[in-house]
Amino acid sequence: MRQLMLGNKALARGLYEGGCSIVSSYPGTPSTEVTEEAVKFEEIYCEWAPNEKVALETAFGASLAGKRSFCGMKHVGLNVAADPLFTCSYTGVNGGLIICVADDPAMHSSQNEQDSRHYAIAAKVPMLEPADSAEACEFAKAAYEISEEFDTPVIIKMCTRVAHSQSIVEPGERVVPETIPYEKNIAKYVMMPGNAIRRHPVVEERTRKLIEYGNHCDFNRVEMGDTKLGIITSSTCYQYAKEVFGDKASILKIGLVNPLPDQLILDFAAKVEKLAIIEELDPILENHCKELG
């Protein structure tokens, strides 16, 4: 039965349906409700960690044990969790690992306005960015598949408008994959310099595969309208663009915001007369399009 859900509640629902077993988070608006909703499912063990670094390390430990895990925080918390984030990008995962970070454009409840996409780029970690509650639920389930297929943690980037607004979600059934056995692998999981040097090409190759994946995946979609104006956008800005322009513009909606899909962007740009970028905070989409010419 379809339900009206807050974005954070929908994300928690996606964790449940995706087979998440362990949640370790640090509270901070606008991310707190994800864990508050996840704890309502008896099948998910949830805890508050003393800080975001510990939260991510706990979730990563569960991943190594073969369980699908999750940790959540707000954007400033990702500063605290940066150390394990950069390292687990190199090690990869065992069970699927999702890191949710909730940004706060306009600083409704935050001391700054940093853009978490920079962390995804710097750490070379894929980032999904839902635009409504339905996508928050679906992206959470899909993030576990991506995490295990590409051997990587996956960041889901929420923001205040998506986390605290409501839209329609169609709940599904919980699917729990078999626990992936842990196998001792020092070369993969112990990032001393000698091992890290050998893991670096693996991370770069993973990024190339994710770029190609982004050119064809369902997270990135083209909605053709009037070709006089083409808009590339994501997250809340997609909703604003649809509200203002409707079918009077063609839209490329980006859901996999890192790495960005080069060929899909070039193909879309070739179909429209004028191209505009609509995004919140920093010009990451804009700069990428300029680099593509």
- In 3D space, the residue among 73, 15, 75 whose CA is nearest the CA of residue 45 turns out to be 15
- How far apart CA 90 and CA 96 sit, in angstroms, is 15
Peptide bond preceding 30 in cis form (omega within 30 of 0): yes
Q: What does 240-268 look like in DSSP terms, one character per residue?
A: HHHHHHGGGSEEEEESEEES--HHHHHHH
Instruction: Tell me the pTM.
Output: 0.97
Going from the C-alpha of 46 to that of each of 7, 20, 25, 32, 113, the distances in angstroms are 19, 10, 8, 12, 28
- Print pLDDT tens along the chain (293 aa): 899 999 999 999 999 999 999 999 999 999 999 999 999 999 999 999 999 999 999 999 999 999 999 999 999 999 999 999 999 999 999 999 999 999 999 999 999 999 999 999 999 999 999 999 999 999 999 999 999 999 999 999 999 999 999 999 999 999 999 999 999 999 999 999 999 999 999 999 999 999 999 999 999 999 999 999 999 999 999 999 999 999 999 999 999 999 999 999 999 999 999 999 999 999 999 999 999 98
Q: What's at 38, amino acid-wise?
A: A
For residue 210, what are the contacts with CB-CB under 8 A and spacing of at least 6? 126, 150, 256, 259
Q: What's at 138, amino acid-wise?
A: E
For residue 156, what are the contacts with CB-CB under 8 A and spacing of at least 6? 11, 98, 99, 100, 101, 127, 128, 129, 130, 136, 139, 140, 143
- How far apart CA 15 and CA 22 sit, in angstroms, is 10
